[in-house]
Amino acid sequence: MKRFIKVPKDIHITDLRTGEQLFLGQAGSSVPWISTFKDFICGTLLQDARFGRTAANVLSGAEIRAALIGEVVQLDEDDYELLKSVLQTPEVGYRPEVAIQLVPFFRAILDATTADPTAQPNAG
């Protein structure tokens, strides 16, 4: 079975108290902190030690990374279940002030469907 994840829009990371845009790098940087779904998957979830624990998990991580193209990510069920498990219980916790803002990314993974949202219904 395949799982389909609709890729959410990029997220601007802000200060939770003030709502002001946060910036990457050192103080005075003018590069806004914007997280893409691919950034989240590759920079956070695929960094989890479980993706390096077995050859099967390494291969799963490679399949997930390769699938991160387009508006819908299509994963085999085993790859999806590993990704979901890491999302739900990461070995190293999330930074709450950032994770709270990434809820659309969490929801996209948790709400993956078994039907391709881009598939055209049969005309008939």
Size of the chain, expressed as the number of residues it contains? 124
Q: pLDDT at position 119, please? A: 82
Q: Is the predicted pLDDT of residue 124 greater than 70, yes or no?
A: no
Per-residue pLDDT tens over the stretch 76-106: 999 999 999 999 999 999 999 999 999 999 9
Q: Please, are residues 30 and 8 in contact by the beta-carbon 8 Å criterion?
A: no
**Alpha helix locations (H) across the chain?**
37-43, 55-66, 77-88, 96-99, 103-110
Q: Summarize pLDDT for 31-40 with one digit per residue, the tens.
A: 899 999 999 9
Cα separation values, 38 from 16, 26, 30, 46, 68, Å = 23, 23, 22, 10, 6
* pLDDT given for residue 24 in this prediction: 87
Residue 27 predicted with pLDDT over 90: no
